[in-house]
Amino acid sequence: MTADHADLLNRRHEAAAQCEIELRVREETKAVMGAVPEGLREDLNKQVIEELLGYGPIQRLLDDPSISEVMVNRADRVYVERNGKSVLTDVVFEDDAHVRRIIDHIVVPLGLHLDADNPLIDARLPDGSRVNAVIPPVAVGGPCITIRKFGKGLLGAPDLVRFGAFTQPISDFLRACVLGRLNIVVAGGTGSGKTTLLNVLSSFIPSEERIVTIEDAAELKLAQDHVITLEAKRAKPDGKGEVTIRELVKNSLRMRPERIIVGEVRGGDCLDMLQAMNTGHDGSMTTLHANTPRDVISRMETMALMGGIDFPIRVIREQIAAAIHVIVQQSRLRDGSRRVISITEMGGMEGDKVVLQELFRFVEDGVDENGRIKGELRACNLRPRLLPRIEAAGIKLPLEMFHPTGPGPRR
């Protein structure tokens, strides 16, 4: 029996078991509460089934395709993110103990455990959604749950163009950067859409190239077949068994990768990623938390120093300047939209400073009748230094793309 066949059988058994449980619940409630109107009885059935098979009061929020994130601040304060904005819902738990039961329902099947000595977890649900849970004494106001839902569909560049994240000419430019095997950093704040953009950039990689993805919690969904997915492993309660991002980056170099994609660099793994980019693994990509391209340099310096190697700061900057070719700055604007607001190329070193050259910059142009920010990425009238690398890959970009009137408002 193949693994796929076994997985299919397991899903069928689970579905059959769920149907059996739902049938039993309905039979019991009808027997005990037969005089109750059918509508009220069905509402009760749904609540009981959600407690038994789902995640209680928040299950309907997780089932809502318009919701991208569910945030339980406390038992009576449940927020969701919809269309980029946080909204308070009418969902409430009975009390803190009820929230804690749902947390256990979430984490126990994942082989995890929360207690006073281990009061927080960050994990991936079976559907790919990311869940973070925190309990007292760390969570002073009571247990908290944050679930970032996993998109059902695979977004592509045309989708981001349609959503207004960038224009079609910018999409063409980013595709050329990927095909030209330029090393790219996607930077931005929490919830700005970095992983989504990284996934789109990864979709431009030719299908014959061997890709190794490395993540804390696997979120990337690559359409190519020649992909190895590695995920970090947290330590067990006894402190053993941990596998860090840094160890995975080092190990990936032994796997004959043509591209290395690190979901996010956060510490000493940054130094290993830079060294991988500088030793023949061109076309690699990663994301990090930074609010501006200049902040990217500062953060990378700090993280590289966390690697435990006592390099002079100038040497680290030289590593960064040599390794990174393009920084794509992503942001969630005040209207909740997620957009690329800057594309910057690395220009080498001048003295002790890393030179940055901004190629495209988001220019705001007011607000429309729906409160949505109007604007677009406009060229900064600079000819990129990276053009020869792109042209060496057989790609010819029109020079007018880099004139202020180039990218324009085309969607």
- pLDDT for 31-49, tens place per residue? 555 555 655 555 555 565 5
| Model confidence at 278: pLDDT above 50 | yes
- pLDDT for 306-344, tens place per residue? 877 778 889 999 999 999 999 999 999 988 889 999 999
The segment(s) of the chain belonging to CATH 3.30.450.370 are 56-152
| Model confidence at 5: pLDDT above 60 | no
How far apart CA 258 and CA 105 sit, in angstroms, is 40
How far apart CA 101 and CA 382 sit, in angstroms, is 57
User: C-alpha 98: how far from its chain's center?
Assistant: 29
| Model confidence at 78: pLDDT above 70 | yes
- pLDDT for 104-144, tens place per residue? 988 888 888 888 888 998 888 888 888 999 999 999 999 99
| Model confidence at 30: pLDDT above 60 | no
| Model confidence at 100: pLDDT above 60 | yes
pTM: 0.80
- pLDDT for 58-69, tens place per residue? 988 998 989 989
Q: How many residues does the chain have?
A: 411
- pLDDT for 141-159, tens place per residue? 999 999 998 776 678 999 9
Average pLDDT over residues 101-105: 90
Average pLDDT over residues 387-407: 86
Q: pLDDT at position 361, please?
A: 95
Categorize the per-residue pLDDT at 7 as very low, low, confident or very high, splitting at 50, 70 and 90. Answer: very low
Q: pLDDT at position 387, please?
A: 94
- pLDDT for 229-258, tens place per residue? 999 888 777 778 889 998 999 999 899 999
Instruction: Report the b/e string of 378-387 with b at 16+ CB within 10 A.
Output: bbbeeebebb
**Cis ω before 404 (30° cut-off from 0):** no
- pLDDT for 356-368, tens place per residue? 999 999 998 888 8
| Model confidence at 21: pLDDT above 60 | no
CATH label, 157-402, candidates 3.40.1160.10, 3.40.109.10, 3.40.50.150, 3.40.50.300: 3.40.50.300
Q: pLDDT at position 41, please?
A: 53
* Surface-to-core class of residue 252, CB atoms within 10 Å of its CB (0-12 exposed, 13-18 middle, 19+ buried): buried
CATH label, 56-152, candidates 3.40.50.720, 3.40.50.2300, 3.40.50.11030, 3.30.450.370: 3.30.450.370
Q: pLDDT at position 409, please?
A: 42
Q: pLDDT at position 24, please?
A: 60
Return the top range by mean pLDDT from 94-98, 174-178, 346-350, 400-404.
Answer: 174-178
Contact predicate 198/220, CB 8 Å: yes
